[in-house]
Amino acid sequence: MESLKQRISKYLIDYRRDKEEAIKDLEKKSSNFKEFKEELIKNDIVSEEELLIIFSREYKIPYLDLEKYHLPKENKELLPQDLASRYKVVPISRIGDVLTIATSNPLDIVVIDELYLATSFKRICPVLCKEEKINKFLNNLYVIKEEKEQNLKEDIFSKVSVKEQSFDESIGIETLVKESKLPPIVRIVDLIIYEGIKRRASDIHIEPTSSDVSVRYRIDGVLQHGLSLPKVNQDAVIARLKIMSSLNITEFRIPQDGRFKVKFEGKTIDFRVSSLPTNFGEKIVLRILDSSNLSYGIDKLGFSEKPLKLFEKALGSPFGIILVTGPTGSGKSTTLYSIISKFNNPQKNIITIEDPVEYQLDGVTQIQVKPEIGLTFAHCLRSVLRQSPDIIMVGEIRDAETADIAIKASLTGEFIFSTLHTNSSVGAITRLIDMGIDPFLVASSIIATTAQRLVRKLCLKCRVKDEIEDNVLERLGFKPTTPELFRPRGCPACNYTGYYGRFALLEVLLFDDIIREMIIKRASEEDIVNYARKERGFISLKEDGFDKCCQGITSLEEVLRVAG
């Protein structure tokens, strides 16, 4: 195939017969098209403008003289700055789903493709324009905005007259309290919180470093950068947060826990706050707990239909134990709280024993364990049983003593649910037996065990087809007729992560008499799972994940990451 260099060379010779020799010479000399183009302009064979006009004819791309074009400021909203500068393109106009961009390099087809994938536009139309003019427009459109923001930031921060040495503990607490109430500090803290809610963060990390205070947000399980605050504002910002959360502001040396609530768009959002002393000052972590998510019930958590049906069947039992398993951050508490919400009504006495209490629920008695004064899970559970509960939620079964009390209570008619640290639903059985619980008691008290994992959803604006070889798919357990699979790519909508939002994979092992017999006879985990798969509609986390891949909701790599 003819290279671009050769094609343009041919075209130019037609256009400038008199320069045939020189053109051929330069073509030979330059190793690629870019060099060739530069040489042509340098040697006065064609001007950049002439070259663009040639391109325009050859590739049927309009040439636009941007000298005469007024570029509206709002155009910067059409394309994020980093994309525009990376590809040296200027957003010119938008009509419906079509974005017109100006470029000086119409031959870089990759650019158009990349922009198409990275934005939500259905079509990207290029027009040609001189490079110099493109640079000018890029500067006007984007750079000035950055400067303005910088000025605004300096403006906010300069109003705070916190002395450099305020980092020293010797600063008066009174001064600190006064400073923490200054409008700029209040605005900074409000902004940090607002950003967190807007960006769907699950927690906000405010972390002093040697040179500044960095703010990061955990979004879909991954930490992402936010603001950096000047070191001088550190103490006032932290003091403000501590006052809001009713923490002891004079105490810097030990970790503290607190909470506060904010109203946002008509919803009340809870923040659980913890402080931790570090080398550079106190680090504050805010967990955002949006309790409005819980009232929708477990059928709104996005579980697949099959395991959800099994789960609901288990919840219909009058007594017994349901164990939810999974690692930290797998969404276990959301599931437990959703179940409590489902049962929560004035006719029911619901008691929870937690470490820590995450969401505060009206009408529910919630107890915080305090092992340092002897209030352990086991101790609390024993006391709770004397309060005639209908439903008990034990935050976590960590030891044999708690497991033992829970099991015995469930055998006398209590309905208990709790969590356990294991990898799979069937693993919960083994774990309890390993703790020293008699298999007979495990078999007779438990209704169901579940396992869950949080998986990121693919960003629908930028996901791309995933090409995976059939033999790999088969090895992973896919059927040969697998529909299209997708993988993440990244675009402004998803902050270039390729993912947007999360949902939980679920695996439910619903006990029946045969499973109970197998447990008493110490059957292997594999045998129990094989039976459950055949007779009890069991599907594993991985199988649930593969289903979601086939529906294009998540990627294979994501499922293998959490359930591989």
By CB under 5 A, name the binding residues for Zn ion: 459, 461-462, 491, 493-494
Nearer to Zn ion, 48 or 466 (CB): 466
Euclidean distance between CA atoms 498 and 112, whole angstroms: 19
CB of 427 to Zn ion, least distance (A): 35
HEC profile of 90-142: EEEEEECCEEEEEECCCCCHHHHHHHHHHCCCCEEEEEECCHHHHHHHHHHHH
* Cβ closest to Zn ion, residue 16 vs residue 200: 200
Q: Rounded to an integer, what distance in angstroms lies between the CA atom of residue 157 and that of residue 165?
A: 16
Smallest gap from Cβ 498 to Zn ion, in A, equals: 6
**Between 421 and 461, whose beta carbon lies closer to Zn ion?**
461
Q: Which amino acid is it at 540? A: S
User: Which residue, 326 or 488, is less far from Zn ion as judged by CB?
Assistant: 488
Residue for token pair 């990451």: 561
Give 337 or 500: the residue with its C-beta nearer to Zn ion. 500
Extract the tokens encoding 504.
Answer: 């939980």
Q: How far is the CB of 459 from Zn ion (least distance, A)?
A: 3
Helix H or strand E encompassing 331: none
* Minimum distance from residue 335 beta carbon to Zn ion (Å): 28
* Residue number with CB closer to Zn ion (403 or 462): 462
Do 261 and 273 meet the contact criterion of CB atoms below 8 Å apart? no
Residue bearing tokens 């155009």: 75
Least distance between Zn ion and beta carbon 504 (Å): 21
Say how many CA atoms lie within 13 Å of 292 toward its Cβ: 9
* Nearest residue to Zn ion, scored by beta-carbon proximity: 459
179-193 core/surface letters (b: 16 or more CB in 10 A; e: else): bbebebbeebbeebb
- Could you give the CA distance from residue 518 to residue 530 in angstroms, rounded to a whole number? 12
Closest CB 219 distance from Zn ion, rounded Å: 13
Complex with Zn ion: residue 494 or 506, whichever CB lies closer: 494
Shortest reach from residue 463's CB to Zn ion, in Å: 7
CB 28 within 8 Å of CB 9: no
Q: How far is the CB of 485 from Zn ion (least distance, A)?
A: 17
Residue nearer to Zn ion on the CB measure, 84 or 185 = 84
Complete DSSP assignment for 412-459? TT-EEEEEE--SSTTHHHHHHHHTT--HHHHHHHEEEEEEEEEEEEEP
d(CA 258, CA 246): 6
First to last CA, the chain: 45
The nearest distance, CB 434 to Zn ion, in angstroms, is 44
Give the nearer residue to Zn ion in terms of CB position, either 229 or 462.
462
